[in-house]
Amino acid sequence: MAASLICGRLTASLRNSGAKTTIASASKVLGVSSGLLGCHGSQQHQQQRGLSLHEYMSIGLLKEAGIAVPDGMVASSSDEAYSDLVVKAQVLAGGRGKGTFEGGLKGGVKIVYSPEEARDISSQMIGRKLYTKQTGEAGRICNQVFICERRYPRREYYFAITMERSFQGPVLIGSSQGGVNIEDVAAESPDAIVKEPIDIVEGIKMEQAVKVAEKMGFPQPLVKEAAENMIKLYNVFMKYDASMLEINPMVEDSSGIVMCMDAKINFDSNAAYRQQKVFDLQDWTQEDPRDRQAAKADLNYIGLDGTIGCLVNGAGLAMATMDIIKLHGGTPANFLDVGGGATAHQVTEAFKLITSDRKVQAILVNIFGGIMRCDVIAQGIIMAVTDLDLKIPIVVRLQGTRVDDAKALIAASPLKILACDDLDEAAKMVTRARTHTHTHTHTHTHTHTHTHTHTHTHIYSTEVNETSGSTVMEHGRGSQMFRVRID
């Protein structure tokens, strides 16, 4: 997955922007998640930008294409891992070799010398979380290990194919320095990186593959074989609508052949409709449950660390909404784009997704109805609040198509939802609104204990004082109503 970073640095070089291109800017150029490059920031969960398969599955695709790979098998229990081979933890994250398992085992790639050692190592991997530089504190559960034959390479190389916008198509990336942290190579020795853009229409040519193999430093007798492997890898890349294919390392084996010892392939999620066989292999145990829920509802969701849930249509408006919440001292709990054609059912699912995060204390709905109809959003909000019996403050800002119908629906409902036309004011309201819970306990020591818990979170009305600029919200029910002033 380092291919994106390398290509980003090369692109920066081509544009004479210097060697200080950051990972973040590289990811922007490539249109990929910075998580692929090992940078997560404060993000709790990564957006699912495409499908990633486990190593043994990717190796299987290469083998089907006639590419030389190590023989191996996958084991789901320590009893299956009995051969004198290499044991590799199967988690969808980079940096396995330097990771740490629950229980203290260091490294997710181990060479074993006896059946007993294979079983012992596997038992310390399977069913435990592996923590790497890419997973962060969350870690990734290891449910399987890949047991493959041990090979003895003479030399190791790096090879990858990725989509690069500046080239308007695929680019081959290679280096004579394989089997190491290729990001460090790209940063410290950019001249050691070879790149070759491929015409998306004409496809890869033998002379291009040969040129790359020679620049990577393959011995002359193996240049043609290496080039043939690169062509086969390119064909796999195109056949399965991959967005990235990485081999680290590609080796010159001691037996004198070129082999791919490892494989990471990322697939374009937009091709799921015609790559169903591949997408059926997705391992959801490697994903956050909310990511799966979002995928089922066709929602774009990223979980964050904050307390204010966001439901917005359009990625740009969603980011602007998150920014303005932050500007007023709040912290967004998520990025959630319902898209331009969301249904009332999708809006309900979006609310379920947001409220599944227990940190969420309030929700801001910000919809601009262009393609999207505001009345559909309003129906979804009413359905969600009713079905989920939500007790937290909800601020709704609607503008655009059928906005008057939407406001009428909300006003006619028995639900108490804060409506606001101004985004800045809506952000202030949702940032400062808090759930008010009052608990009162009476204890009768003679016969029994009786507990009364009263929770008042119903928002009845809101008004803005034009002179002071303060906001007053009324909460409660009947004689229990009270007013909250927000300056």
Pick out the residues of the known binding site for substrate.
313, 370-372
CB 116 within 8 A of CB 87: no
**Are 93 and 129 spatial neighbours (Cβ–Cβ below 8 Å)?**
no
Q: Are 233 and 158 in contact (CB under 8 A)?
A: no
How far is residue 419's CA from residue 438's CA, in Å, rounded to a whole number? 25
Non-local (6+) Cβ contacts of 16 within 8 A are none
* Annotated catalytic residue, options 55, 164, 183, 246: 246
Q: Are 248 and 262 in contact (CB under 8 A)?
A: yes
Tokens linked to 444: 């009768």
Task: Name the one residue in this structure whose structure tokens are 């979380």.
Answer: 129
Chain-centroid distance, C-alpha 26: 17
- Binding residues for ATP, by number, are 88, 95-97
Distance CA 241, CA 225 (A): 24
Q: Which residues are annotated as a binding site?
A: 88, 95-97, 248, 262, 313, 370-372
Residue type, 454: H
| Annotation marks residue 158 as catalytic | yes
Q: How far apart are CA 62 and CA 236, in angstroms?
A: 7
| For residue 249, cis peptide bond before it (omega within 30 degrees of 0) | yes
Phi/psi at 145 (nearest 5 deg)? Answer: -125, 150
> Which residues participate in the annotated binding site for Mg(2+)?
248, 262
Q: Hey, which residues does 419 pair with through a beta bridge? A: 396
Question: Rounded CA gap, 184 and 293, in Å?
Answer: 36
How far is 22 from 186, CA to CA, in rounded Å?
11
User: Active-site residue among 56, 131, 158, 301?
Assistant: 158
Beta bridge partners of 428: none
Q: Which residues pair with 175 in a beta bridge?
A: 158, 193
- Whether 82 is catalytic: no
- Which sequence positions are flagged as catalytic? 158, 246
